[in-house]
Amino acid sequence: MGRRQQHHYRTEPARFPQDFAARLSGFRAAAGLSWRELARLLRVSVRTVHRWRNGARPDSGHLLSLLELATERGLLHTLAPTLAPRPWDTYSESATSCAGASSPSSAASDCGMRNPTRGSLKM
Q: Is residue 60 part of a domain?
A: yes
Count Cβ atoms below 10 Å from residue 49 Cβ, excluding itself: 23
For the stretch 9-41, pLDDT in tens is 766 767 888 999 999 999 999 999 999 999 999
Residue 117's alpha-carbon distances to 4, 73, 105, 120, in angstroms, are 46, 41, 10, 6
Per-residue pLDDT at 111 exceeds 90:
no
Per-residue pLDDT at 1 exceeds 80:
no
For the stretch 46-60, pLDDT in tens is 999 999 999 999 999
Share of the chain above pLDDT 90, in %: 49
Q: What is the pLDDT of residue 103?
A: 53
Q: Is residue 32 part of a domain?
A: yes
For the stretch 69-98, pLDDT in tens is 999 999 999 998 877 665 555 555 555 555
Same domain, 36 and 61: yes
Q: Which of 26, 18, 48, 27 is nearest to 36 (CA)?
A: 48
Q: CA-to-CA distance for 49 and 80, rounded, in angstroms?
A: 18
Q: Is residue 8 part of a domain?
A: no
> CATH number, domain at 57?
1.10.260.40
Q: Which of 15, 38, 16, 44 is nearest to 26 (CA)?
A: 38
Q: Is residue 122 part of a domain?
A: no
Same domain, 96 and 45: no
- The single-letter DSSP state of residue 85 is P
Question: Could you tell me which residues come within 8 angstroms of residue 101 by beta carbon, excluding any fewer than 6 positions away?
Answer: 107, 109, 110, 111
| AA identity, residue 18 | Q
- Could you tell me the pTM of the whole model? 0.59
